[in-house]
């Protein structure tokens, strides 16, 4: 009987925690039960209180001497006259640059509207109680957002959408006969439209009804606007690719399985910064000679590839959580592979995966700060540019506190949403 030493030496006494409710103040009782419950707890309480006290003593005076209305660091210092205090004038002066980059200030309403509409477009997916009709707006949202942020003529996204409509209507016309043939015809129709007809159609529509707003170059987009654009576009575009990769990884066809696994493991094995460097240095080598894509577009392409690998893992988890009975029932009904996926499996799997997808988005949004290393103007890079200006050279804490606070607001909000959703999904499946 090889019993462990420890069990024989177990103390046979009750482990119910003491804490006699003495008569008296409820607060005192609460404090005694929660804060001074045993010597370990007392020690921890004392250490925590000391730590909090030290933090407040270090930061308090600095915050108390906050100056909001200085135009430069020199002014701040002369007002403070030797004391140490926070110089929030830099935030007052440059908050717009931190939020929008070099976007023209008269046009701020455009990205703000686009952001508001983003929340509306995402709402039906995130809050299942809302009416499904909003999804139609969600489908139109990408074109609208593109036009709002980059400007140019409104007919441009319209012609792109017309191409999609052509493809989808051709597909549904022939899909009853033969799925793959219909898909081929649909794609051919769309591509024909885009390559040959969309440009003349766009120019003709533009000449009839001009709807141009001021065009913005990608270089003017910076700050949090850039982070949100890269994050949202990356996640949204990576969803279809992630689904394909997840299905490929679960596939029984060896070649497809191998390719998916290699792709996913390669992307997950390299740091995001190397992928961003590829976007800025390497992607040009692999594109046709003479073509030159916008840097933001290249970054979005590589970020999409990066996010799709993580998305594939999240969706794979969602797929694994589905009981096998669903597949078997679909097979019994006579549905083939793609119909099973489209009608039975994917809706359920995606619903289960939404918390994971939101977590991926939080991670990606935080990682967008890495574009500072390739010369794009994310908030950290704008902070560096601000600090290089002679007005604000030497300022440090205030900028990073501001940037950190905004990141915290975004990410904390999203993680609270994700937790709420997880709780709801758990009750669904009970």
Partner 1 sequence: MATRHAMQHEPFRLGMLIHDTRYRNTTIQVLAFLLFAACAAWLIDNMLQNLAVLGKDFSFDFLWRRAGYDISQQPISYTSTSTHARAALVGLVNTLIVAAAACATATLLGVFAGVLRLSRNWIVARLMTVYVESFRNIPALLWIIVIAAVMSESMPTPAAFRGAHPSASMVLWNSVAVTNRGVYFPMPELSRSLGHLDFGLGTLSLDFLAIVGVLALSWVARSLLRRRADRALAATGRRPATGWKNALILVAPVTALLYLLGFHLQYPSISGLNFSGGLQLRSSFIALWLGLSVYTGAFIAEIVRAGILAISRGQTEAAHALGLSPARTMRLVILPQAMRIIVPPLISQFLNITKNTSLGLAVGYMDLRSTLGGITINQTGRELEGMMLMMLIYVCISLVISSAMNLYNHRTRLKER
Partner 2 sequence: MKKYLLVIGAAAAMTTGLASAGTMADVQSRGTLRCGVVSGKAGFSAPDAKGVWHGLDVAYCRALAAAVLKDPNAVTFVPTTGQTRFSALASGEIDVLARTTTWTFSRDVDLKFTFVGVNFYDGQAFMVPKSLGIGSAKQLDGATVCITSGTTTELTLSEYFKRHHLSYEPVPIDTNAEIQQKYQAGACDVYTSDGSDLASIRSGFKNPDDHIILPEVISKEPLGPVVRQGDDQWADVARWTLNALIDAEELGVTKENVDQQARTSTNPEVNRLLGKEGNFGQQLGLDSEWAKRAIAVEGNYGEIYANNIGEKTPIKLARGLNALWENGGLMYSMPFR
Q: Return residues touching partner 1 (CB under 8 A).
A: 1-2, 5-6, 10-15, 17, 33-35, 37, 41, 44-45, 48-49, 51-52, 180, 252-256, 259, 265-266, 268-274, 277-278, 281-282, 284-289, 362, 366-367, 369-370, 372-373, 380, 396-397, 400, 403-404, 407-408, 410-412, 415
C-alpha 63/C-alpha 86 separation (Å) is 6
8: Cβ–Cβ under 8 A, 6 or more apart, which residues?
none
Choose the contact partner of 196 out of partner 2, partner 1, none; CB within 5 to 8 A by kind.
none
Q: Shortest Cβ distance from residue 250 to partner 1 (Å)?
A: 15
Provide DSSP, 126-138: H-TTS-TTHHHHH
Among 348, 345, 276, smallest CA distance to 307 is for 276
Choose the contact partner of 106 out of partner 2, partner 1, none; CB within 5 to 8 A by kind.
none
Residue 369 in contact with partner 2, rule: CB under 8 A: no
- For 6, what's the count of Cα atoms within 13 Å in the CB-facing half-sphere? 0
Q: Shortest Cβ distance from residue 139 to partner 1 (Å)?
A: 28
Choose the contact partner of 68 out of partner 1, partner 2, none; CB within 5 to 8 A by kind.
none
- For 240, what's the count of Cα atoms within 13 Å in the CB-facing half-sphere? 2
CB 153 within 8 A of CB 312: no
C-alpha 424/C-alpha 68 separation (Å) is 44
Which long-range contacts (C-beta less than 8 Å, at least 24 apart) are formed by 321-329? 321/349, 321/352, 322/348, 322/349, 322/352
Residue 387 in contact with partner 2, rule: CB under 8 A: yes
250: Cβ–Cβ under 8 A, 6 or more apart, which residues?
257, 316, 319
- Mask for 299-318, x = binds partner 2 (CB under 8 A): -x------------------
Orientation of helix 346-367 relative to helix 295-320, angle to 10°: 140
Among 203, 225, 208, smallest CA distance to 145 is for 225
Q: Shortest Cβ distance from residue 101 to partner 2 (Å)?
A: 8
C-alpha 252/C-alpha 237 separation (Å) is 26
Provide DSSP, 176-224: TT-HHHHHHHHHHHHHHIIIIIHHHHHHHHHHHS---B----GGGB-HH
Q: Shortest Cβ distance from residue 270 to partner 1 (Å)?
A: 5
Q: Which of 291, 325, 332, 430 is in the footprint of partner 2 by CB under 8 A?
A: 291
Choose the contact partner of 326 out of partner 1, partner 2, none; CB within 5 to 8 A by kind.
none
Residue 375 in contact with partner 2, rule: CB under 8 A: yes
Q: Shortest Cβ distance from residue 10 to partner 2 (Å)?
A: 54
Q: Shortest Cβ distance from residue 333 to partner 2 (Å)?
A: 25
Choose the contact partner of 370 out of partner 2, partner 1, none; CB within 5 to 8 A by kind.
partner 1
C-alpha 257/C-alpha 13 separation (Å) is 57
Q: Shortest Cβ distance from residue 342 to partner 2 (Å)?
A: 12
Structure tokens at 233: 């576009």
Q: Is 101 helix (H, G, I), strand (E, B) or coil?
A: strand
Q: Which is nearer to partner 2, 265 or 294 (CB)?
A: 294
Q: Which is nearer to partner 2, 233 or 418 (CB)?
A: 233
Q: Shortest Cβ distance from residue 129 to partner 2 (Å)?
A: 25
Choose the contact partner of 265 out of partner 2, partner 1, none; CB within 5 to 8 A by kind.
partner 1
Site for partner 2 in 194-233 (CB under 8 A): 194, 198, 217-220, 233
Residue 295 in contact with partner 2, rule: CB under 8 A: yes
Provide DSSP, 299-358: HHHHHHHHHHHHHHHHHHHHHHTS-HHHHHHHHHTT--HHHHIIIIIHHHHHHHHHHHHH
User: Which residues in this chain contact partner 2 in the complex, by CB under 8 A?
Assistant: 74, 77, 93-94, 97, 102, 105, 139, 142-143, 146, 152, 156-157, 159-161, 163-164, 190, 194, 198, 217-220, 233, 236-237, 240-241, 280-281, 284, 290-295, 297, 300, 372-375, 377, 381, 383-385, 387-391, 393-394, 396
């Amino acid at each position: 009987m090889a019993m462990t030493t420890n069990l024989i030496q177990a103390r046979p006494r009750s482990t119910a925690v003491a804490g006699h409710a003495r008569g008296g103040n409820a607060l005192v009782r609460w404090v005694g039960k929660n804060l001074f419950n045993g010597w370990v707890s007392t020690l921890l309480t004392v250490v925590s209180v000391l730590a909090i006290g030290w933090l407040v003593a270090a930061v308090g005076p600095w915050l108390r001497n906050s100056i909001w209305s200085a135009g430069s660091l020199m002014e701040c210092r002369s007002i403070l006259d030797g004391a140490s205090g926070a110089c929030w004038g830099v935030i007052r002066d440059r908050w717009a640059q931190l939020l929008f980059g070099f976007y023209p200030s008269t046009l701020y309403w455009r990205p703000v509207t686009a952001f508001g509409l983003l929340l509306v477009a995402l709402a039906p997916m995130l809050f299942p109680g809302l009416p499904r009709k909003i999804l139609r707006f969600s489908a139109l949202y990408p074109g609208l957002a593109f036009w709002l942020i980059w400007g140019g003529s409104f007919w441009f996204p319209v012609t792109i959408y017309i191409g999609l409509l052509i493809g989808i209507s051709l597909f549904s016309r022939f899909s009853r006969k033969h799925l793959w043939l219909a898909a081929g015809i649909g794609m051919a129709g769309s591509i024909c439209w885009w390559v040959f007809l969309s440009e003349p159609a766009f120019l003709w529509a533009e000449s009839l009804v001009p709807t141009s707003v001021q065009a913005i170059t990608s270089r003017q987009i910076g700050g949090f606007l850039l982070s949100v654009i890269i994050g949202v576009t990356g996640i949204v575009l990576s969803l279809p690719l992630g689904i394909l990769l997840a299905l490929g990884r679960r596939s029984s066809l060896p070649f497809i399985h191998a390719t998916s696994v290699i792709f996913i493991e390669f992307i997950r094995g390299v740091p995001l910064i190397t992928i961003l460097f590829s976007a800025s240095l390497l992607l040009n080598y692999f594109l046709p000679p003479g073509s030159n894509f916008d840097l933001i577009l290249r970054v979005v392409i590589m970020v999409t590839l990066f996010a799709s690998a993580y998305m594939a893992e999240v969706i794979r988890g969602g797929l694994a959580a589905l009981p096998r009975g669903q597949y078997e029932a679909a097979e019994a009904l006579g549905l083939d592979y793609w119909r099973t996926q489209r009608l039975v499996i994917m809706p359920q799997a995606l619903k289960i995966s939404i918390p994971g997808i939101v977590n991926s988005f939080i991670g990606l949004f935080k990682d967008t700060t890495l574009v500072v290393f390739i010369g794009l103007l994310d908030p950290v890079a704008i902070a560096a540019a601000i600090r290089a200006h002679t007005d604000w050279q030497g300022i440090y804490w205030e900028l990073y506190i501001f940037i950190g606070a905004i990141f915290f607001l975004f990410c904390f909000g999203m993680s609270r949403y994700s937790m709420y959703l997880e709780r709801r999904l758990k009750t669904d499946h009970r």
